[in-house]
Amino acid sequence: MRINWNYIKIGALSLVLMGLYAFSNQRNEKRKVAGINIEFVGDQNLYITQSVVNKLLIQNYGPIINVPKEKLVLNTIEKVIEANEMVKSAQVYLTVNGELTSKIVQRKPIGRIEGNSKFYLDDEGKRMPLSMSHSARVPIITGKITGKGLEDVYEILKYINQDDFLRKNVIGIHIEEEERYQLKFRMEQFVVHLGGIDNLEEKFNNFKAFYAKANRDKTLEEYAMVNLEFNNQVVCTKI
């Protein structure tokens, strides 16, 4: 009977590969966590610090270094980190060197509410607590704080953040009665009366045209109120 050596070689190679895989898998299961690495993605203003994340992990799992890797459930660790009110999302994984790495995306505040309760409004229009680690340089929201008022303020803030000039210069939004809004600018003494949130693009374009001309004429300091509420015009009150 003729022996087919090709089949024997393939069979032997398969056994060797299976043995190597089993050996590698067994060694991997015995490996322990060698360290922890926490990375913040994007904005480097830290509203939550590495020490806070480490504390979260210790509170839920105890000391993680030297824990066998197979005892860690990475999805659960991600949920623990994401439960923190400063965190938008987290990705947790183990490196080949046994290091537990967490990449964290923080929530982004775009306005700060100064009312009976104080909190941030984030870039998704949700409430975000103030941070003990960092104070965001965002417009201050004052006045009659209501649910509808905050919805409108979020729309104003979204527009402001898309415009380089407005983002650099608007430092405050005041909520008046009947859902009318005033803006405070960084370098100017006058108040900008926005009215409602209708026709924001037209209102802000009119304002920027007025500002450019008044700045060119060196008359900005002469105004106490700039009213954008009326259609396609800017009504000013002088000091």
Do 128 and 218 share a domain, yes or no?
yes
Compute CA distances 226 → 19, 158, 186, 231, whole Å: 79, 21, 15, 14
Q: What number is the average pLDDT over the span 25-52?
A: 78
Q: How confident is the model at residue 16 (pLDDT cuts 50, 70, 90)?
A: very low
Q: Find the CATH number of the domain harbouring 193.
A: 3.40.50.11690
Report pTM: 0.80
Do 114 and 232 share a domain, yes or no?
yes
Do 96 and 203 share a domain, yes or no?
no
* Residue pLDDT, tens place only, 71-91: 788 899 999 999 999 999 999
Judged against a pLDDT cut of 80, whether residue 125 lies above it is answered with yes
C-alpha 118/C-alpha 97 separation (Å) is 44
Tokens 């015995």 belong to residue: 30
Question: What is the number of structural domains in the chain?
Answer: 2
Position 8 in a domain: no
Do 124 and 199 share a domain, yes or no?
yes
Do 234 and 146 share a domain, yes or no?
yes
Do 138 and 222 share a domain, yes or no?
yes
Do 150 and 223 share a domain, yes or no?
yes
The letter for the amino acid at 177 is E
CB 140 within 8 A of CB 183: no
DSSP 155: H
Judged against a pLDDT cut of 80, whether residue 236 lies above it is answered with yes
pLDDT for the residue 60: 85
Do 184 and 141 share a domain, yes or no?
yes
Q: What number is the average pLDDT over the span 29-52?
A: 83
Out of 106, 135, 150, pick the residue that ends a domain: 106
Do 79 and 158 share a domain, yes or no?
no
Q: How confident is the model at residue 64 (pLDDT cuts 50, 70, 90)?
A: confident
Q: Find the CATH number of the domain harbouring 77.
A: 3.10.20.310
Q: How confident is the model at residue 23 (pLDDT cuts 50, 70, 90)?
A: very low
Out of 106, 130, 163, pick the residue that ends a domain: 106
* Residue pLDDT, tens place only, 216-229: 999 988 888 999 98
Do 190 and 227 share a domain, yes or no?
yes
**pLDDT > 90: what percent of the chain?**
54
Position 16 in a domain: no
Range of the domain at 225: 109-238
